[in-house]
Amino acid sequence: MLILEKLWNIIKNEINNSNNIEILDSIKIKYLGKNGIFNHYIKNLKSFSFEEKKKYNIIINIIKKKTISKINVKKIEINKNILTQRIDKEKIDISLPGRQIQKGSIHPIHHSINCIQNFFYKLGFQSLNGLEIEDEYHNFDALNIPKNHPARDTHDTFWLDKNRLLRTQTSTMQIRIMKSKKPPMRFIFPGKVYRNDYDATHTPMFHQVEGLIVEKNINFSHLKWIIYNFIYHFFNKKVLLRFRPSYFPFTTPSAEVDMMTDSTKWLEILGCGMVHPLVLKNVNIDSKIYSACAFGLGVERITMLRYGISDLRSFFENDVRFIKQFKYI
């Protein structure tokens, strides 16, 4: 009897001193397992009388039940402590100011393209993107650009091989759309173009928007009306414009449009003209029935004028401080 009381005291101390679940499980196996101490005691009762066996069995079973209960209580206590420690470690101080989520901003070039598209949608134009890798025919030949034209040289154009190149203008889409569609048609073609140039006002990659109308009885006055109204819309005010006679291989007559800047200087912002009859012939459109007008503008240039940006390269340097200045509703 005394031995069993001492055993119980030992068990209580071991359970009380355990500080994790693994130790507690090892105590349970040590005393209550198949080869545990309690089973060892029961096996040693073989030489005892029936009455002694009965008496000691009762005491052993009582201690076993107390051991199981003590282990379960201690396990609950340990799990509670683990949870408390985890809560203390992971808790959030709600008195601290919250983390601010910084809102991004649409890039000014994308915003300008959206503005251009929205204006021309109202006039019945469709917007299409085109191939950035073009062939010589669509980029030069079909646009009536001579074989010896300087634009074909490597110092102006990025050639991939003898036939393929990075397109130098979105005018290539004029040819592709007129070959695949039948008049009447109204399209704008926004997209990236590539030229071998880099300074404060030029980058090797920039954005253009090409416009095209092919209908009966279209003339230069319609083109001027569209350009005037677009520029007024884009700058949200009436600005001073002038149409200056110019030359493009794929339009005749041709003009460059200049805008008076805040510094009272004329700055070219786009080129335009009536599509050349040879270009229409290249796409099997009868120039005696249909006439066509086209224009092309550099998105970066008019965006620089709109926001007073002095260096074109700022658009492509990924400076967050620059982009953050442009917040649109």
Task: Characterize the bridge pairing of strands 205-215 and 185-194.
Answer: antiparallel
Strand partners, 293: 213, 274
Q: Which of 246, 240, 127, 103 is nearest to 177 (CA)?
A: 127
Q: What's the rounded Cα separation, in Å, for the pair 60 and 208? A: 93
Place of tokens 């029936």: 50
Number of Cα atoms under 13 Å in the Cβ half of residue 305:
25
| pLDDT of amino acid 118 | 95
Domain ranges of the chain: 2-90, 108-323
Strands (E) across the chain are located at 126-127, 133-135, 164-166, 185-194, 205-215, 241-248, 251-260, 266-275, 291-298
Of 249, 247, 120, 123, give the one whose Cα is nearest residue 189.
120
Instruction: Give the residue from 274, 234, 272 showing the smallest Cα distance to 256.
Output: 272
Position 190: which residue type?
Answer: P
Architecture of the domain delimited by 108-323 = 2-Layer Sandwich (3.30)
Chunk the chain into consecutive blocks of 10 residues (it has 329) and report each block's average pLDDT, rounded to whole numbers.
71 82 83 77 72 75 82 86 84 76 80 95 93 91 84 83 91 91 94 82 86 94 96 92 93 93 88 93 92 94 89 84 73
The stretches of 101-167 forming alpha helices (DSSP H) are: 108-121, 136-139
**Residue 233 to residues 34, 60, 81, 107, 236: CA-CA distances in angstroms?**
90, 97, 69, 20, 5
Q: What is the pLDDT of residue 20?
A: 84
Residue with tokens 């107390």: 66
- The pLDDT of residue 2 is 61
Among the listed residues 286, 288, 252, 290, the one whose alpha carbon sits nearest the alpha carbon of residue 272: 252
CB–CB of 279/250 below 8 Å? yes
Please report the pLDDT score of residue 329 as a whole number: 43
In the block, residue with structure tokens 């007024």: 232
d(CA 280, CA 144): 10
